[in-house]
A and B are shown apart, each in its own frame.
Chain A
Amino acid sequence: MIAEAGHYALVLALALALIQSTVPMIGARLRDPVLMNVARSTALAQLLFVGLSFGALVLLHVISDFSVANVYENSHSLKPLIYKITGVWGNHEGSMLLWVSILALFGGLVALFGNNLPLSLRANALGVQGWVSTAFYLFILLTSNPFLRLVNPPLEGRDLNPVLQDPGLAIHPPMLYLGYVGFSISFSFAIAALIEGRIDAAWARWVRPWTLMAWMFLTLGIAMGSYWAYYELGWGGWWFWDPVENASLMPWLAGTALLHSAVVMEKRNALKVWTVLLAILTFSLSLLGTFLVRSGVLTSVHAFATDPTRGVFILLILCVFIGGSLSLYAWRASSLKQGGLFAPISREGALVLNNLLLTTACATVFIGTLYPLGLEVLTGERISVGAPFFNLTFAPLFVPLLLALPFGPLLAWKRGDIAGAAQRLYAAGIVALVSIAVLWAWVRGGSAFAPLAIGLAVFVIIGALTDIAERSMLFRMPLSIALRRARGLPRASWGTMFAHVGVGVALIGIVCETTWNTELISTLKPGDVAKVAGYELKLDDISQRQGPNFGEMLAHFTVSEGGKMIGVMTPSKRSFSTRAMSTTEAALMSRGVSQLYISLGDTAASGAIAVRIYHKPMVLLIWFGPLLMAFGGLLSLSDRRLRVGAPKPAKASRSLQPAE
């Protein structure tokens, strides 16, 4: 009954999406406010029904109704409740349902908070959202229905893949999807603007908070996924340049560029055509990511060719939306008026450079991800493009980006003074050079790469702080006045600072971890001591334990530093009987922002156990960086001028028209 109700709700949502995708757009054509207002109610009703449908699937998983194929294949009655819930999106059908639910959520939010939008813009944008939802509802209902019943209901389920039975799964996919799908809003607004043939600074002001929100979630989602891989896979890597990861990195890079170009458009009414293109590209890359992950093309080009229904369907969606939107762009872009001239050396110029480097970096990731697929389809030759490729292409493009980063916020709009900006960055430059020299002396002629990269990160961090210091006149005014000025700065300036500092912090973490991590692989018997990076780890004993749906072997380590005990670590190996699989649960111990990491290997007949012990200096900074970036995004989002739903008449934007 629940399954049928969920299925029915999903069909109703499809019907509503069909109305949403046609009626309001006809209304916008005919300038009929009644028809245009249909968008709002259908978007909200659609959210309600898809929410019911998603709730039904969650309920089926919670009550372990194994007569539903999706529950049977991915659940088990002994599974802890949290994994029964998160298991809903740990499989193809459920994760697609989550995808459309989030799409409907964003549509509903625009409907709720978009009262200050021009009526036709809202109608068109929600109409475009309706197209996207229609396509994905059809995909789910025709190829991946999660509510299918089994004729002979089995008594027990097949359990969720043990790797996915982790709190990481509760957060990572929803975050990632909030990011991916959130970019659909800027896409819909861009298409709506192209349809109307009118775009102005106010448009950028409406689009920016949505982009910012999607970008924040995507940042957190990627960071979360990276940390999950780090502790769950048991070999201490945090980024593998795996196509699945690249699929989320590409929209992030394009989205970061979009965020910056939207600033130019909002403040200076320039770069309109480019911003619209970026909005289209960002969501296209999100769709591409969905295609790569969901079609099975990554597992095997041949599997894709032999069972093509799902893959071809998503490919079709991809072609229709990307092809359609780019054609519309080619046809209508010239009708958007250009505005806002600026000199190459200016804030706008710096943001153009930022966009150029980010999109180029995104393109290299794109090539590295799709080249092997293309080559295999064309020649049958199989290659793997791994970390070396990306280190040689992606990294060199980020160096100029980071070098230029501190200059951007210090340059004036329209016509900047590079010498003046450089002068204000003296302090940052000197601190960076000193840290390079100190580090170089400390590592005594080791690789020059690490000190230089850390120097660059220091430059970025101090540069970002310099901007705030300059704006609040710190060191030039009495402290109390400077503090008052700092408090009065727009939150967006603080947001910029936190996000930019986050970039530098993440870079320090990445460089320290890759350059100075220590690894020890050895076989230990109870009583043996391993020494890693000044820590002594003694294996006390090995014990067995029974979990809810797995058996577990735990190794108990006592960790001491300089003879003093500082803690215990218990890495384990779990074996899940239902799927005859085992997973390695690494043990982590944080020392400041550095971590000790132990994971277990095989047990030998003699009772000795293979262990991998890592010391990873500064590794936590890799994830603190993205946290800071997302926090910066949150601050920017709370800025008065962008507050979602804050009444902001379109008149205000007139004053932003360029002087020229």
Chain B
Amino acid sequence: MTRKQRRLTMIGGALVVLGIAIALVLNALRDSIVFFSTPQMVAEKHIPAGKRFRLGGLVEPGSLVRGDHMAVTFKIADGSNALSVAYKGILPDLFREGQGVVAEGALDSSGVFKADTVLAKHDETYMPKDVADALKKQGHWKDDYEKAGKKPDGDAKPMQGASR
């Protein structure tokens, strides 16, 4: 092989690998990303049952009901709307009524959000990022969240969660 041919083989090989990688990334971005919504956005947008998304808001005080076999239901509210959430399993340590949470799952046919993952953070004053942003936008933001939420510690794993 001449120098030129060798170089062409190399470049060709590199392009093939890059092409495959780009195809993989585009494919994965289409299929595997999950969007974030608040109860209000759910009410407005009409998300079809079975489509996975993340639901964020505050756990409505007084809405937490524990059933048999660790089934729990609670409502996630964002000030204007609330959505019922059903979850089975152990909730994270910092799950509390009135606190911000993010749940991942999908709506079932009756409009209840079936969560398979519930995330809360390791800090009593923490507000998940998505929730804080959404609340700010809607004007439900209170200043005391802000003071407290501003000390992220990067070496800590930012989320604590429970999933089934």
Q: Do they bind each other?
A: yes
Cβ of A299: which chain B residues have Cβ within 8 Å of it? Answer: 129, 149, 152, 158
Cβ of A573: which chain B residues have Cβ within 8 Å of it? Answer: 93
* Size of interface on B: residues with Cβ below 8 Å to A: 56
Contact across chains for A303 and B149 when beta carbons are under 8 A apart: yes
Cβ of A352: which chain B residues have Cβ within 8 Å of it? Answer: 10
Contact across chains for B157 and A244 when beta carbons are under 8 A apart: yes
- Name B152's contact: one of A298, A343, A360, A367 (CB within 8 Å): A298
B154, CB-defined interface residue at 8 Å: yes
Cβ of A357: which chain B residues have Cβ within 8 Å of it? Answer: 17
Cβ of A26: which chain B residues have Cβ within 8 Å of it? Answer: none
Q: A388-B28, A392-B28 are in contact. Are A604 and B36 (CB under 8 A)?
A: no
- Name A602's contact: one of B91, B132, B164 (CB within 8 Å): B91
* Size of interface on A: residues with Cβ below 8 Å to B: 73
Tell which of B21, B24, B161 has the most Cβ of chain A within 10 Å: B21
- 0/1 per residue, A348-359, Cβ < 8 Å to B? 000011001100
CA distance A173 to B154 in the complex (A): 10
B142, CB-defined interface residue at 8 Å: no
CA distance A371 to B33 in the complex (A): 11
A543, CB-defined interface residue at 8 Å: no
Q: A161-B123, A383-B36, A384-B33 are in contact. Are A90 and B28 (CB under 8 A)?
A: no
B108, CB-defined interface residue at 8 Å: no
Cβ of A342: which chain B residues have Cβ within 8 Å of it? Answer: 6
B136 CB to closest chain A CB, in angstroms?
7
- 0/1 per residue, B28-47, Cβ < 8 Å to A? 11011111100000000000
Cβ of A361: which chain B residues have Cβ within 8 Å of it? Answer: 21
Cβ of B29: which chain A residues have Cβ within 8 Å of it? Answer: 371, 385, 389
A529 CB to closest chain B CB, in angstroms?
17
B144, CB-defined interface residue at 8 Å: no
Cβ of B151: which chain A residues have Cβ within 8 Å of it? Answer: 73, 92
Cβ of A244: which chain B residues have Cβ within 8 Å of it? Answer: 154-155, 157-158
A164, CB-defined interface residue at 8 Å: yes
Query: Which candidate, A51-59, A459-467, A471-479, A576-584, is the interface stretch facing chain B?
Result: A576-584
B163, CB-defined interface residue at 8 Å: yes
CA distance A602 to B1 in the complex (A): 70
CA distance A521 to B10 in the complex (A): 53
Contact across chains for B155 and A581 when beta carbons are under 8 A apart: no
CA distance A386 to B122 in the complex (A): 20
- Name A360's contact: one of B18, B31, B32, B158 (CB within 8 Å): B18
Contact across chains for A602 and B129 when beta carbons are under 8 A apart: no
- In the complex, chain A residues 386-445 whose Cβ is within 8 Å of any chain B Cβ: 386, 388-389, 392-393, 396-397
Q: A161-B123, A235-B163, A299-B158 are in contact. Are A389 and B153 (CB under 8 A)?
A: no
- 0/1 per residue, B129-164, Cβ < 8 Å to A? 110110010000000000001111111111111111
Contact across chains for B154 and A294 when beta carbons are under 8 A apart: yes
Cβ of B65: which chain A residues have Cβ within 8 Å of it? Answer: none
Contact across chains for B90 and A300 when beta carbons are under 8 A apart: no
- Name B154's contact: one of A92, A303, A397 (CB within 8 Å): A92
- In the complex, chain B residues 50-88 whose Cβ is within 8 Å of any chain A Cβ: 54, 66, 69-70
Cβ of B69: which chain A residues have Cβ within 8 Å of it? Answer: 523
Contact across chains for A384 and B158 when beta carbons are under 8 A apart: no
B149 CB to closest chain A CB, in angstroms?
7
Contact across chains for A581 and B152 when beta carbons are under 8 A apart: no
B26 CB to closest chain A CB, in angstroms?
10
Cβ of A364: which chain B residues have Cβ within 8 Å of it? Answer: 21, 24-25
Contact across chains for B153 and A381 when beta carbons are under 8 A apart: no
CA distance A25 to B50 in the complex (A): 63
Contact across chains for A229 and B157 when beta carbons are under 8 A apart: yes
Contact across chains for A393 and B13 when beta carbons are under 8 A apart: no
A302, CB-defined interface residue at 8 Å: yes
Cβ of B25: which chain A residues have Cβ within 8 Å of it? Answer: 364, 367, 393
Contact across chains for A353 and B156 when beta carbons are under 8 A apart: no
Contact across chains for A341 and B155 when beta carbons are under 8 A apart: no
Contact across chains for A235 and B10 when beta carbons are under 8 A apart: no
A307, CB-defined interface residue at 8 Å: yes
CA distance A592 to B151 in the complex (A): 41
Q: A293-B154, A303-B150, A344-B6 are in contact. Are A582 and B93 (CB under 8 A)?
A: yes
Contact across chains for B36 and A384 when beta carbons are under 8 A apart: yes
A143 CB to closest chain B CB, in angstroms?
14
CA distance A386 to B163 in the complex (A): 14
Cβ of B162: which chain A residues have Cβ within 8 Å of it? Answer: 235
- A297's nearest neighbour on chain B, judged by CB, is B152
CA distance A357 to B6 in the complex (A): 19
- Name B33's contact: one of A307, A363, A385 (CB within 8 Å): A385
Contact across chains for A382 and B27 when beta carbons are under 8 A apart: no
CA distance A371 to B25 in the complex (A): 11
Contact across chains for B157 and A233 when beta carbons are under 8 A apart: yes
CA distance A32 to B33 in the complex (A): 58
Q: A242-B157, A388-B31 are in contact. Are A356 and B17 (CB under 8 A)?
A: yes
A65 CB to closest chain B CB, in angstroms?
20
Contact across chains for A382 and B155 when beta carbons are under 8 A apart: no
Contact across chains for B158 and A302 when beta carbons are under 8 A apart: no
B111, CB-defined interface residue at 8 Å: no
CA distance A507 to B89 in the complex (A): 29
Tell which of B69, B124, B154, B156 has the most Cβ of chain A within 10 Å: B154
Contact across chains for B130 and A382 when beta carbons are under 8 A apart: yes
Cβ of B13: which chain A residues have Cβ within 8 Å of it? Answer: 344, 353, 356
CA distance A397 to B20 in the complex (A): 9
Contact across chains for B124 and A386 when beta carbons are under 8 A apart: no
Contact across chains for A604 and B24 when beta carbons are under 8 A apart: no
Cβ of B90: which chain A residues have Cβ within 8 Å of it? Answer: 521, 601-602, 610, 612
Cβ of A341: which chain B residues have Cβ within 8 Å of it? Answer: 3, 6
Q: A161-B122, A302-B136 are in contact. Are A296 and B152 (CB under 8 A)?
A: yes
Contact across chains for A581 and B124 when beta carbons are under 8 A apart: yes
Q: A300-B132, A367-B25, A602-B90 are in contact. Are A389 and B32 (CB under 8 A)?
A: yes
Cβ of A397: which chain B residues have Cβ within 8 Å of it? Answer: 17, 20-21, 24
- A345's nearest neighbour on chain B, judged by CB, is B9
CA distance A73 to B150 in the complex (A): 13
Contact across chains for A610 and B122 when beta carbons are under 8 A apart: no
- B159's nearest neighbour on chain A, judged by CB, is A242
A211, CB-defined interface residue at 8 Å: no
Across the A-B interface, the 9 shortest Cβ-Cβ residue pairs: A293-B154, A601-B90, A388-B32, A392-B28, A382-B36, A299-B152, A300-B129, A393-B24, A360-B21
List the interface of chain A (C-beta within 8 A of B).
Answer: 73, 89-92, 95, 161-164, 169, 172-173, 229, 233-235, 240, 242, 244, 292-294, 296, 298-303, 307, 341-344, 352-353, 356-357, 360-361, 363-364, 367, 371-372, 381-386, 388-389, 392-393, 396-397, 521-523, 573, 579-584, 601-602, 604, 610, 612
A–B Cβ pairs within 8 angstroms, 27 of them? A91-B153, A164-B155, A164-B156, A229-B157, A233-B160, A235-B161, A235-B163, A242-B159, A298-B129, A298-B158, A300-B129, A360-B18, A364-B25, A382-B35, A383-B33, A383-B34, A386-B32, A389-B28, A389-B29, A392-B24, A393-B24, A397-B21, A573-B93, A582-B93, A582-B94, A583-B93, A602-B91
| 19 extra interface residue pairs, beta carbon distance < 8 Å, beyond A244-B155, A392-B28 | A73-B151, A161-B123, A173-B155, A229-B157, A300-B149, A303-B132, A342-B6, A343-B6, A344-B1, A356-B14, A360-B17, A367-B25, A371-B29, A385-B29, A386-B32, A392-B32, A523-B70, A583-B93, A610-B70
